[in-house]
Amino acid sequence: MIPPQPQNGQRAPLWQHELRKAFSRPLDLLAYLELDPTTAGLDAGSLRDFPLRVPRGFAARMRKGDAHDPLFLQVWPSAQERAATPGYVVDAVGDLQRVREAGLIHKYQGRVLLVATGACAVHCRYCFRRHFPYSEQLAARDRWSPALSDIAGDASIEEVILSGGDPLSLSDDKLAELVAALDAIPHLKRLRLHTRQPIVLPERIDERLLAWLDRTRLQTVFVLHANHAAELDEQVRTALLPLRQRGIMLLNQSVLLRGINDDAQTLARLSERLFACGILPYYLHLLDRVQGAAHFDLPEDEAQALMRVLSSRLPGYLLPKLVREVAGAPAKTWIAWERSAPSS
């Protein structure tokens, strides 16, 4: 094991150490999971534009010897990604037309999304960000000032959403500096983080993170991203406790994924496990039609049928909203799923 490198006289945080140890070579991951690389379907064909990345702790939640494990399927670069499917495009959600300043996306009223970094702790194969030209658009530290003056100059903005990539890929020094600058903008009320890191790298929630969360005057919301109950083990639940103790709202968004969570039982277990971890289900997204991800997609009518079953099993507060991102729409588009009541 490589010991953590000292940084500014301090030891590097444990999470950075864990991140350096993440799986990046497909054969290493297969060996760890005791999967035979010659098995049909394990041809890692699609690494060129979006390499493999899986933290060890996340891989530890996968079932060994199971090529259909729902966590493994989310990260494995299968040969199916190379299929060019008509209608599946590079910029599926129209973000590139909406960037006001470097890294600032203002699509919806009252809230802006700041693409704080392009980096993620895990690479999810279904993700639309895989084609996003981060090198041009991300608000690198020295490029935050135009975005910040843009926010400061528009009093209609009440909420800033830190997104990416994964905003928690940034160091706590950088995040503390950014959040202090946001604190100083009087019309801002809320800070939201869209992050998958507490799920895939629970070590990320540490004293340094909590220190700047304690300092901000902004009401804080975390929108986490888990797609399957098996992602939420006891380590994740425990890591989230300090956020819950601080009254930080924890929500979750999932993506509906063929072969991973496309049945009512799996979705019900996910909602129940989220609640056991102190998280409320927020959105269930229909897949963005992004090139290379068509094999994960589900037709809308199947999703609607799933929601009907789910609604008959769960309390209303554990039912996520079924949504799709439609380019140019003023909000996420809610997909209705209720059958009209039988007429008497």
Ligand X SMILES: *Cc1c(COP(=O)(O)O)cnc(C)c1O
Q: In the complex, which residues of this chain contact ligand X (CB under 6 A)?
A: 105, 107-108, 111, 113, 161, 331-332
Q: Which residues contact 173 (CB under 8 A, 6 or more apart)?
A: none
Closest CA to 21 of 51, 48, 7, 1: 1
Residue 127 interacts with, from ligand X, ligand SF4, none (CB under 5-8 Å by kind): ligand SF4
Minimum distance, C-beta of residue 35 to ligand X, in the bound complex (Å): 35
- Site pattern 181..200 for ligand SF4 (x: CB under 6 A): ---------------x----
Q: Is 124 annotated as a binding residue?
A: yes
273 binds ligand SF4 (CB under 6 A): no
Classify 246 as helix, strand or coil.
coil
> Which of 245, 320, 322 has the alpha carbon at shortest distance from 275?
320
Please identify, among the stretches 87-95, 121-129, 139-147, 205-213, the one whose residues bind ligand SF4 according to the rule CB under 6 A.
121-129
124 binds ligand SF4 (CB under 6 A): yes
Query: Shortest Cβ distance from residue 181 to ligand X (Å)?
Result: 19
Phi and psi dihedrals of 221, rounded to 5? -125, 130
Give the interface segment with ligand SF4, choosing from 59-67, 147-155, 158-166, 303-311 (CB under 6 A).
158-166
Residue 218 binds: one of ligand SF4, ligand X, none (C-beta under 5 to 8 A by kind): none
Residue 165's binding partner among ligand X, ligand SF4, none (Cβ under 5 to 8 angstroms by kind) is: ligand SF4
Total number of residues binding ligand SF4 (CB under 6 A)? 11
Query: Is residue 277 part of an annotated ligand binding site?
Result: no
Rounded distance, CA 314 to CA 318, Å? 6
Report whether 318 contacts 275 (CB < 8 A): yes
118 touches ligand SF4 by CB under 6 A: no
Query: Which residues fall within 8 angstroms of residue 275, CB to CB, at 6 or more apart?
Result: 318
**Amino acid at residue number 191:** L
**167 near ligand SF4, judged by CB under 6 A:** no
- Peptide bond before residue 165 is cis, with ω within 30 degrees of 0: yes
DSSP-assigned states of every residue in 162-178: EESS-GGGS-HHHHHHH
β-strands 111-115, 10-11: how paired? Answer: unpaired
CB of 331 to ligand X, least distance (A): 6
Instruction: Name the phi and psi angles at 7, rounded to 5.
Output: -135, 125
Question: What is the Rg, in whole angstroms, of the alpha carbon atoms belonging to the chain?
Answer: 20
Which of ligand X, ligand SF4, none sits in contact with 166, Cβ below 5 to 8 A by type? Answer: ligand SF4
262 to 61, 220, 267, 268, 327: CA distances (angstroms): 19, 31, 7, 11, 24
Q: 123 is in the binding site of which of ligand SF4, ligand X, none (Cβ under 5 to 8 A by kind)? A: ligand SF4
Distances (CA, A) of 72 to 84, 102, 198, 237: 23, 34, 18, 21
The verdict on 120 binding ligand SF4 (CB under 6 A) reads yes
Check residue 55 for interaction with ligand SF4 (CB under 6 A): no
Is residue 165 a contact residue for ligand SF4 (CB under 6 A)? Answer: yes
Residues that bind ligand SF4 (CB under 6 A): 120, 122-124, 127, 129, 164-166, 196, 225
Binding residues for [4Fe-4S] cluster: 120, 124, 127
